[in-house]
Amino acid sequence: MSQSEKGTPASELIDARIRELGNWRGETLARLRALIHEADPEVVEEWKWRGVPVWSHDGILCTGETYSQVVKMTFAKGAALEDPSGLFNASLEGNTRRAIDLREGERIKAEALKALIRAAVALNRARKKGRSK
């Protein structure tokens, strides 16, 4: 578990954000968070960039940003990941990141998302292993 700059555990800050949102965005962020933990029980929660939930394992996996119309899950190295279920629907033009924008009422494809999380973990591990040689 990571701590913020002021010493509050990131998990508590993420809990507070979910409560603060209190609507479909909070519910969606909570659901994404639960799926991330199901996919990778060793994931580390962080709080970066003045209030963005971040999930890491041997490097950043993804972020969970909330906007008025979407909850955006951005994968730091998404362009390098296979996405057979076509979850990525935003930030498609870049060479590095990919994102999933979820709107109110949209269903999360849980198994496909967990597979994407596991692929991101595997990519980070492989890159870390390659650097340690």
What are the residue ranges spanned by the domains of the chain? 10-131
User: Residue 67's pLDDT is what?
Assistant: 95
Residue 78 CA: distances (Å) to CA of 63, 67, 118: 11, 20, 12
Q: List the chain residues with pLDDT less than 70.
A: 1-6, 132-133
Give the CB-side neighbour count of residue 65, counting CA atoms within 13 A.
Answer: 16
CATH class of the structural domain 10-131: alpha beta
Interatomic CA distance for residues 129 and 127, integer angstroms = 5
Two tokens at 60?
A: 């950043």
Q: How many residues does the chain have?
A: 133
Interatomic CA distance for residues 72 and 68, integer angstroms = 11
User: Residue 118's pLDDT is what?
Assistant: 97
